[in-house]
Structure 1
Amino acid sequence: MSLRKAYLIVFIILLVDQLSKIYIKTNFVYGESGQIDVTSWFKILLIENEGMAWGTVIPGLYGKLFLTVFRLVAVTGIGYWLWDSVERKHSSNYLIVAISLILAGAFGNIIDSVFYGVIFDDSYGHLATLFTEKPYGTWFHGKVVDMLYFPLFEGNWPEWFPFWGGQHFKFFNAIFNIADVAISTGVGILIVFNKKAFHHQH
C-alpha cells in the first residue's frame, strides 16, 4: 500500500471523528439530559473525558499537560512507524492499515486535548459554542469528546458472586468516540491478524 493511501485512511477517519465531535458538542447538552436513544442498546450521550481511557485522570497540576505531551510524542512515533513500514516496501497491508487506524485515532483525540479548551465553552446546562469568546480551558488542557454508548444489557450480580455480589451492573458501560473505535480496530487487526501483519518482517 502506498503512503498516499495510508494518509487517505488517516484523513477520512480524522474528518469523520472531528465532524462528529463538533456536531455533538454544539448540539447536545452534557450528560443524560441531552441523551438520544437510537435503539434500546445504542444511545448518543455527550460526555467529556478528562484523561485517559475509562476516564482515568493523572493527578496533579501538570497531569493533563503531561498526558497531552505524551500523546504528541506517541503520535510522532506512530507516524514514523507508518512511514517506515510503507518505505520498506515489504510490509503487509494489514500492518499499514492497522497503523493508519491507530495514528488517526490517536491524532483525533490529541486535537481535542490541544485545541478544544480554547475554541469551545462548556456544555453544562446549555449547548456549547464553537470559537467562543469565553473558552472553558487553555491550550493543551482540552477535554476529549465521547458520545457512542452501547448499554447492551444490565442486571444485578448474583449474591454469591465475590466482591460485587448483589450490585447492579451495566454492559457495555464505556462511552467512546470514532477515534477510539479506530484505535481499537487497529490494535485488533494487529492481534487477530498478527502473523499476516508481521510475516514479511520475520
Structure 2
Amino acid sequence: MTPSRTPFRLGLAALLATLVLDQASKLWLYLGTDLVLTQPWRFGPYAEFVVVWNRGVSYGLFQQEGGFGRWFLVVLSLVAALGLGVWMRRAHSRLLALALGLIAGGALGNAIDRAAYGAVFDFVHLHAGTWSWYVFNVADAAIVAGVIGLILDGLMPQRSPRGPAEKNAVL
C-alpha cells in the first residue's frame, strides 16, 4: 500500500461505513420495527427516537414539496458526493480524507432517502427541558463530524507531501 493511497482508502472506508450504517439504521427502524406507530421511543430524559420526514436540507430549511425540488436535491447531493470523492482522492491528509468520506457518505445516504421516499428519514431527537435539537439521522451526524474534521484539518499546519529522500536532496 503506497502512502499516497492510504488517505483515500481511509476516506473510502468512512464513506462506505457511513452509507451502510445510515441505510441499515433507517431500514431497520422504518421497516423492521413499529416505531411509526408507537413513537416516541424514549431513552431517558434527553433522547428519543421519532419519525420525521425532512423534505428540505439541513435543519429542515428549504422544504421541497414538489417533484422538481426533490430531484434537484438528489442531483445536488450526487454531484456534491462526486466532487468530495475527487477531493478525497487528492487528499494528502488522513484527517481530510476521513472528513470528506463522512460528508460524502452522509450526502449519499440522504440522497437515497430522497430518491426512494421523496424525503429524508430522520429519527434521533435530543432535548433537555425546553431546549430541543433538530431531529437527525446517522448521515446527518456523519456530515457534522466531517465538517468538524474539515475545520480541524484546515487549522493544522501544512505538511510537505514530499518524502524523506526529497527533503534531503540538494537542489
Taking the aligned partners of 1:150 and 1:37, their CA distance within structure 2 comes to 10
Give the aligned partner of residue 153 of structure 1.
129
What are the within-5 Å matches in structure 2 for residues 7-86 of structure 1?
7-26=12-31, 27=33, 28-29=35-36, 33-56=38-61, 57-58=63-64, 62-85=68-91
Give the aligned partner of residue 159 of structure 1.
none
Q: Normalising by the residue count of structure 1, what TM-score does the alignment of the two structures yield?
A: 0.68
Normalized per residue, the structure richer in helix is 2
Structure 1 position 147, deviation (Å): 0.6
For residues 144 and 201 of structure 1, do their structure 2 counterparts lie closer, same or farther at Cα, with a shift above 3 Å needed? Answer: farther
Write out per-residue CA displacement over residues 14-37 of structure 1, whole angstroms, 9 at most, x where no aligned residue.
Answer: 11111100011122217xx52100
Q: Which runs of 5+ in 2 are unaligned?
A: 1-5, 162-171
| Contact 1:34–1:45, Cα closer than 8 Å, also in 2 | yes
Taking the aligned partners of 2:44 and 2:114, their CA distance within structure 1 comes to 30
* Paired positions, count: 153
For residues 106 and 20 of structure 1, do their structure 2 counterparts lie closer, same or farther at Cα, with a shift above 3 Å needed? Answer: same
RMSD: 2.1
Q: Secondary structure at the match of 2:127?
A: coil
Q: Normalising by the residue count of structure 2, what TM-score does the alignment of the two structures yield?
A: 0.80
Q: Which runs of 5+ in 1 are unaligned?
A: 86-90, 118-141, 155-170
Q: Percent identity?
A: 29
Taking the aligned partners of 2:17 and 2:160, their CA distance within structure 1 comes to 28
Taking the aligned partners of 2:142 and 2:160, their CA distance within structure 1 comes to 24
Taking the aligned partners of 2:57 and 2:160, their CA distance within structure 1 comes to 32
Give the aligned partner of residue 98 of structure 1.
99
Give the aligned partner of residue 108 of structure 1.
109
Taking the aligned partners of 1:106 and 1:35, their CA distance within structure 2 comes to 26
Give the aligned partner of residue 141 of structure 2.
181
Taking the aligned partners of 2:66 and 2:10, their CA distance within structure 1 comes to 41
Shift >3 Å, 4+ stretches? 58-61
